[in-house]
Amino acid sequence: MRMLVVDDEEDNAELLALLLEREGWDVVCASTFEEAKRELAQGNYAALLTDVHLSDGNGLCLLDDGRPSGLRVAIVTTGSAAPMETEGTLEYFDAVMSKPIRTQELIEVLHRAVGSAPSEA
């Protein structure tokens, strides 16, 4: 299954991609809000993992037009200790995770959402 990882810190995105690929995901990374919007519109993704704070926008706004039909799980991450800002909505997201991301927790959330390991689905 395909997953879109959105983070403007490329090292974070690459590390997450490596971890998720080991779990069987086909991962595509986007480093900007605009790139992520294009990918979501063109690609068929089962999962989205996005940072809130992107250099050119707010990750919460990626799903303002609703969830794409094939998107089974959407997770937003934040490194901020402050409460989530009100721009954008959590309505279309399944989970909020604080950075640094606990990888085992992320994998458990993903497995619960898809019902099996991605390579088995």
Alpha helix locations (H) across 1-121? 10-22, 33-42, 103-114
Strands (E), the chain: 2-6, 26-30, 47-51, 53-54, 57-58, 73-78, 95-98
Q: What is the pLDDT of residue 86?
A: 45
- 63-107-103 Cα angle (round to 5): 100
pLDDT per residue as tens digits for the range 58-108: 999 999 888 898 999 999 998 875 555 545 567 889 998 988 899 999 999
Give the 3-state secondary structure of residue 85.
Answer: coil
Q: In what order do the strands lie in the sheet with 47-51?
A: 26-30, 2-6, 47-51, 73-78, 95-98
Tell whether the model's pLDDT for residue 55 goes beyond 50. yes
pTM for the full predicted model? 0.89
Q: What is the pLDDT of residues 2-46, one digit of tens each?
A: 999 999 999 999 999 999 999 999 999 999 999 999 999 998 999
- Beta partners for 54? 57
